[in-house]
Chain A
Amino acid sequence: MTLLLAIVTGILFTAGFYLVLRRSLVKVIFGLMFLGHAANLLIFNIGRLTKGAPAFILEGNQTAVEPYAEPIPQALILTAIVIGFGVQAFAIVLFKKAYQMIGSDDIHSLKSTDRIA
């Protein structure tokens, strides 16, 4: 599965970056979400896959017994998922606001706002 998951991650990255490069606001948001999934899966895969053995210390034991999944990437991803939600919400609202104010879905029409004289 490691190989397969690596390929899936690659596809998600491709889709994410392709969408982020688009000019349509909504597509950029979708791209961000893809990138979030891709990054999470990358970290998860790099922590090595352990099938069906969560990082728990079983009742009655003092320490964890192999095999169990690597806990650190999981902790990283867990917060990343929630933070990703916050970022998504922010991005969605930001783009929505931009759309309202500029009246266009085209990112290129946003460019004048941060041009420096």
Chain B
Amino acid sequence: MKSIILQTATRYLLPILLLFSFFLLFRGHNSPGGGFVGGLVAAAAYALYSIAFGVEEAKKLLRIEPVYLIATGLMFALISGMIAFFSFDTFMTGKWSDFNFPLFGKLGSPLLFDLGVYVVVIGITLKILFTISEEVKP
């Protein structure tokens, strides 16, 4: 079911949705949003793309095998917990930078954790969708 309208729309929607998902991720600490929602929106963007162009195209666009995304995300989350070890605090003690970065505001280990959640959620959703749709086709 390849439709020109959907394909054209998706081409413009995909970057916007991805941008929106980043936006959700980074403002999540202070307003609605966060890693879970952001990840889901980003995954939905790719899902839309795979409906419009087919799974193979979507995979090509993603470039990375989703399992690696899962692993990377988990690693981010784990590392964010271990940052506290450097100052001899217990696992997962939140650590924050003292000054404000432009655009992001303060950076801290919880933010890295949220980034990890974001990446894991994208990985999981896409892994599930890709595997299932691959199975469906033949």
Contacts and interface: CB of A to CB of B under 8 A. Distances in A.
Chain A directly contacts chain B within the complex, with at least one CB pair under 8 Å: yes
Contacts of A82: 36, 40, 121
B31 interface: yes
B132 interface: yes
A79 B36 contact: yes
A85 B95 CA distance: 31
Interface string A68-85: 000000000011001001
Contacts, number: 17
A18 interface: no
Interface residues of A, number: 10
A53 interface: no
B124 interface: yes
A92 B131 CA distance: 13
B128 interface: yes
A31 B47 CA distance: 25
Contacts of A54: 32
Nearest to B40: A82
A49 interface: no
B29 to A, nearest CB: 11
B124 A93 contact: no
Contacts of B36: 78-79, 82
Contact of A93 (B30, B31, B125, B132): B132
Residue among A82, A85, A89 with the highest chain B CB neighbour number at 10 A: A82
A8 to B, nearest CB: 24
A93 B31 CA distance: 35
A54 B32 CA distance: 9
A86 B31 contact: no
A39 B47 CA distance: 28
B124 A56 contact: no
A86 B32 contact: no
Interface string A84-96: 0110010011000
17 contacts: A54-B32, A56-B30, A56-B31, A78-B36, A79-B36, A82-B36, A82-B40, A82-B121, A85-B125, A86-B124, A86-B128, A89-B128, A89-B132, A92-B132, A93-B128, A93-B131, A93-B132
Interface of B: 30-32, 36, 40, 121, 124-125, 128, 131-132
Q: Which A-B residue pairs are the 6 nearest by beta carbons? A: A89-B128, A82-B36, A78-B36, A93-B132, A86-B124, A82-B121
